[in-house]
Structure 1
Amino acid sequence: MTQILESIDKVRLTVNPLLKRKSELGQFFTPSSIAQFMASLFAKEKMKNPRVLDAGAGIGSLTSAFLVQLISENLSRSANVNLIEIDEYLEEQLTDILSMFEDEINISANIVIEDFIEWAVLNLLEEGTLLENGKPGFTHAVLNPPYKKIKSDSRHRKLLRSVGIETVNLYSAFVALSIELMEDNGEIVAIIPRSFCNGPYFRHFRQHLLGKTAVKHMHLFESRDKAFKDDEVLQENVIMKLERGGKQGDVTISISTDDSFSDYNEYVYPFEKIVQPNDIEKFIHINTSNEETLIERFPSVCYSLEELDIEVSTGPVVDFRVRENLRQMPEGGTVPLFYPNHFVGTQLEYPKEMKKPNAIVRNEKVEKWLYPNGYYVVVKRFSSKEEKRRIVAGVLTPDSVDYPVIGFENGLNVLHFQKKGISPEIAYGLYVYLNSTQVDKYFRIFNGHTQVNATDLRTMKFPSLEILEELGEWVISNSDNIEQEEIDGKLEELLK
């Protein structure tokens, strides 16, 4: 069995560079180590005479790992496997790989070279041959779906809507359709980008997934660039095991640095810690340590920005749309346009020698996007995973620039009060809170990508205005060079 998987890995490495439509189709093949781990997650007692779906089968790595699991542990003497793959170039590879198992197990194989979304929707709407008595017939689904956005006016989007699925990416579409094609208590194991766990774009998908399945297991790779190093994948991925119509109980969360699984660790959490009961967004929190989170340790951290009467908006100036109004340096008739790299801690570096412009012409076109000068907290929308903190906040003070109005570029989130400044104490208090180590750890649990959206900040919990004011007064009365340890210590002191 090991030799079969090694052979498949050789095929993967050989075929990978030859694929002409790899980027177009969003193809990423699964290393055998990951495929074996995924196969191991299925409940052994449910694996007799399985009917398996492999959506976006590629070269068949996942189906092969599933069959190896059946054979090596003597779980079943037969299997029905259905491999759906859009790339006709891979049909020969799929046939050759399945032939390796002919002497080991009785396989009924169905290789379909079609668009999976079209194929699945056709079967769901017309009760095709894969449906028995109008009910889906798969007992298991294993998939590494393609990663590619779906345009809102595309044929794929219309097909998905015809079966009640609303989503924005191929990977979430593949998982949602696989859920629909499963029989009750059927199991799905999929490796997908973690980005679906939060944010408004995947809200419908999360509702669909959590409404129709029980989450049983989630695995994270701590290193973003090692699990799929041959494909140069930098997206943070999660392996999920779901049970169609299952009873939701505790969830196993596991983690390893990479696909060797040499430092594998796992923890078990109540589902209420994974998806908070009152969260209408249904954000999925993945805690990879046994440490209590910030909001668990400190019940006083319980307020939303809305409850604090503070608003957050994405910077409204999209620079490439107003290119004719941008100026490299301030000049007559312009006002400051702030980018993320203008903010360094509590300091504003303006104007700044950089590739980006420093100013924008004030005219009728841009006036609606400008804010009156005042105290504002800004949070960078984008950061690399290698940065020490996922949330990087700064403060703008009204005396830092001598202009009546200012502009914020789209790479910033802006905390404000009705599009006006907030009090200096609250501004500095928010700055300290957002830049604390405790908040960074809390944020990483439910944010799987490097982008910090305004929706993320609206969903977060904050201390009371009184505590924020006290934090702000402490910052104002101390030097500008406050160390991280001092920030963390002061926050702990006030929250206890």
Structure 2
Amino acid sequence: MAGLFPDGMGDCFLLDAGAGIGSLSAAFLDRWRTGGLHFQRVAVDAFELDHDLIDDLSKTLNKYNGNGDLSVNIQGEDFIHCAVESLAGNLFSSPMEHFTHAILNPPYKKLNSNSPHRLALRRVGIETVNLYSAFVALAVALAAQGGQIVAIIPRSFCNGPYYRPFRDFILERTAIRHIHLFDSRSKAFKDDDVLQENIIIRLERGAQQESVTVSTSADDSFSDLAAHEHPFDRIVFPHDPERFIHVPTSSEHDAIELFPAIRCTLSDLGIKVSTGPVVDFRLKAHLRDMPGPGTVPLLYPGHFSSIGTTWPIENTKKSNAIARNADTERWLYPSGYYCVVRRFSSKEEKRRIVASTVEPRAFGDAPLLGFENHLNLFHENKHGLPEPLARGLAVFLNTTAVDESFRRFSGHTQVNATDLRLMKYPSRAALIELGEWAASQGTLSQDQIDARLEALTA
């Protein structure tokens, strides 16, 4: 992280918010002291709210003192409230410097909509849902023109509707200069329970956006470091209203980009995708372990596998049925063919997108079906799809090309309906042709699926 900063002259004002014991500031000061950065003076502002760490933080930073060219200001206060008061121009608060540099490993914690931090951030025009994005946004707001911000943060801000205001904030105020991606979700942070990829990002305040360097490594040893330059329109697609941030891992275009036949939206196809409406803990009184009189099937991700649908499943922790009554009727769908995608993948699972076809014959004469909240569901106005279309969608979504394309903008274990809604698809006719082919083949290998998509869209 310290090595990502470009060399500089004059005075440096360094912000380290959430400093811990000072490891990041120490790396920056190491580079400066060994001649890698040519600042005349460095002033460090280190914020750390955990008072048990303050002594160690002080010892870490004061090791670099001695020449009279370093000043260290350790603040055991809440960074968000201090930054907001300074940005809002509160007469009773201490104004903060416009920092030339910031190096951050911010805390990760969700912010409730009415939490004190969320309300404080709104005072200075920052709307975001997590502490880590709040820290980065405040560092950007406090940075001087040309200020450099390097942060290690979860990749979840790159996509999804909740981080759209944060993406807008940084894209309007900074240029993305460098993104480093760790290929493995488990190796880089093996001491932590990391459920999503982390990236290191360098932003430059007020700069004109140019190409972006994207580097990758398997883990934090960086032994296999590789880097490529990409034009910005491969990072944020020009006409994407959500402004998703893509992270290409090679200089080549992914297969979906190269297929001119894959350009349809779900709206073009007349299809919708929704999150499964049955939230089991809210409807607990209506759940049944096994089907019986007055019930209909309730489907979880565990009911679907590469060999098809297995329902009911005995001796499972999940329910197999839900009572059909006035309280549940509005959450149920008419029996039919659907395509479903699991919302969560495990850490090192080969595929991020796992799609299945819902076959109504698996449920006998059940008139309705319940889809649990851990599934995404493709449908036509809350009704089933034509069988070939449902099968074709599942085959397309299970291709390697789709999985690789999806990984470019999503680094977490969750596949949201919004993500699926914003993807591009083959035409309805092409999907139906794909589904008819799949129905005639029986069990399909990954190679067969990938080859068929390539032939269909050539």
Task: Give the TM-score, by structure 2 length.
Answer: 0.96
Tell whether the 8 Å contact from 1:345 to 1:393 is kept in structure 2 after alignment.
no
Give distance in 2, aligned partners of 1:286 and 1:240. 11
Give the one of 61, 85, 91 matched to 2:23: 61
Tell whether the 8 Å contact from 2:62 to 2:72 is kept in structure 1 after alignment.
no
CA apart distance, 1:456? 0.5
Tell whether the 8 Å contact from 2:256 to 2:402 is kept in structure 1 after alignment.
no
Tell whether the 8 Å contact from 1:345 to 1:395 is kept in structure 2 after alignment.
no
Matching residue's letter, 2:115: S
Matching residue's letter, 2:388: E
Q: Residue 50 of structure 1: SS of its match in structure 2? A: strand
Matching residue's letter, 2:78: D
CA apart distance, 1:186? 0.5
Give the one of 365, 381, 393 matched to 1:430: 393
Partner of 2:268 in structure 1?
Answer: 307
User: Structure 1 pair 104/490, CA: closer, same or farther in 2 (3 Å)?
Assistant: farther
Q: How does 1:246-261 map to 2 (within 5 A)?
A: 246-261=207-222
Q: Residue 356 of structure 2: SS of its match in structure 1? A: strand
CA apart distance, 1:108? 1.4
Partner of 2:359 in structure 1?
Answer: 397
CA apart distance, 1:404? 0.7
Residue by residue over 1:142-194, the C-alpha shift from the partner in whole angstroms, topping out at 9 and shown as x without a partner, is: 10000001111111010000101100100000000110000111110000000
User: Structure 1 pair 47/193, CA: closer, same or farther in 2 (3 Å)?
Assistant: farther
Partner of 2:135 in structure 1?
Answer: 174
Partner of 1:140 in structure 2?
Answer: 101
Partner of 1:32 in structure 2?
Answer: none
User: Structure 1 pair 233/424, CA: closer, same or farther in 2 (3 Å)?
Assistant: closer
Partner of 1:84 in structure 2?
Answer: 47
CA apart distance, 1:412? 0.4
Unaligned runs of 5+ in 2: none
Q: Residue 192 of structure 1: SS of its match in structure 2? A: strand
Tell whether the 8 Å contact from 1:346 to 1:394 is kept in structure 2 after alignment.
no
Give distance in 1, aligned partners of 2:332 and 2:58. 61
CA apart distance, 1:230? 3.5
Q: How does 1:27-426 map to 2 (within 5 A)?
A: 38-44=1-7, 46-73=8-35, 75-103=38-66, 106-126=69-89, 129-131=94-96, 137-345=98-306, 347-353=308-314, 354-401=316-363, 402-426=365-389
Matching residue's letter, 1:318: V
CA apart distance, 1:368? 0.2
Q: Residue 474 of structure 1: SS of its match in structure 2? A: helix
Give distance in 2, aligned partners of 1:193 and 1:104. 37
Give distance in 1, aligned partners of 2:204 and 2:433. 48
Residue by residue over 1:274-301, the C-alpha shift from the partner in whole angstroms, topping out at 9 and shown as x without a partner, is: 0000111110100112232123211111
Give distance in 2, aligned partners of 1:396 and 1:357. 17
Give distance in 2, aligned partners of 1:232 and 1:397. 36
CA apart distance, 1:476? 1.5
Give distance in 2, aligned partners of 1:362 and 1:175. 48
Partner of 1:478 in structure 2?
Answer: 441
Tell whether the 8 Å contact from 1:429 to 1:469 is kept in structure 2 after alignment.
yes
Give distance in 1, aligned partners of 2:392 and 2:263. 16
Residue by residue over 1:184-234, the C-alpha shift from the partner in whole angstroms, topping out at 9 and shown as x without a partner, is: 111100000001100111111011011110000000111222323334444
User: Structure 1 pair 355/47, CA: closer, same or farther in 2 (3 Å)?
Assistant: farther
Residue by residue over 1:315-359, the C-alpha shift from the partner in whole angstroms, topping out at 9 and shown as x without a partner, is: 000111111111111000100000111112362111112210100
Tell whether the 8 Å contact from 1:380 to 1:413 is kept in structure 2 after alignment.
yes
1:439 is the counterpart of 2:374: no
CA apart distance, 1:235? 3.3
CA apart distance, 1:258? 1.1
Give distance in 2, aligned partners of 1:235 and 1:389. 14
Tell whether the 8 Å contact from 1:130 to 1:137 is kept in structure 2 after alignment.
no
Residue by residue over 1:420-478, the C-alpha shift from the partner in whole angstroms, topping out at 9 and shown as x without a partner, is: 01111111110110011111111111111011000000011101111111101101222
Give distance in 2, aligned partners of 1:344 and 1:295. 25
Give distance in 2, aligned partners of 1:162 and 1:119. 13
Q: Residue 230 of structure 1: SS of its match in structure 2? A: coil
Higher helix proportion (structure 1 or 2): 1
Partner of 1:455 in structure 2?
Answer: 418
Give distance in 2, aligned partners of 1:161 and 1:463. 41
User: Structure 1 pair 234/314, CA: closer, same or farther in 2 (3 Å)?
Assistant: closer
Give distance in 2, aligned partners of 1:50 and 1:171. 24
Tell whether the 8 Å contact from 2:340 to 2:356 is kept in structure 1 after alignment.
yes
Q: Percent of pairs identical after alignment?
A: 55
Tell whether the 8 Å contact from 2:176 to 2:201 is kept in structure 1 after alignment.
yes
Give distance in 1, aligned partners of 2:274 and 2:177. 36
Q: Residue 11 of structure 2: SS of its match in structure 1? A: coil
Give distance in 2, aligned partners of 1:143 and 1:78. 20
Give distance in 2, aligned partners of 1:326 and 1:105. 70
Give distance in 1, aligned partners of 2:341 and 2:144. 45
Give distance in 2, aligned partners of 1:230 and 1:356. 31
Give distance in 2, aligned partners of 1:369 and 1:231. 37
Tell whether the 8 Å contact from 2:300 to 2:374 is kept in structure 1 after alignment.
yes
Give distance in 1, aligned partners of 2:418 and 2:192. 31
Unaligned runs of 5+ in 1: 1-37
Give distance in 1, aligned partners of 2:122 and 2:89. 15
Give distance in 1, aligned partners of 2:278 and 2:446. 32
Give distance in 2, aligned partners of 1:157 and 1:143. 20
Q: Residue 415 of structure 2: SS of its match in structure 1? A: coil
Give distance in 1, aligned partners of 2:375 and 2:94. 52
Judge which range, 398-407 or 171-180, deviates more.
398-407
CA apart distance, 1:130? 3.9
Judge which range, 218-227 or 447-456, deviates more.
218-227
Judge which range, 397-406 or 364-373, deviates more.
397-406
Partner of 2:432 in structure 1?
Answer: 469
User: Structure 1 pair 104/233, CA: closer, same or farther in 2 (3 Å)?
Assistant: farther
Partner of 1:28 in structure 2?
Answer: none
CA apart distance, 1:374? 0.6
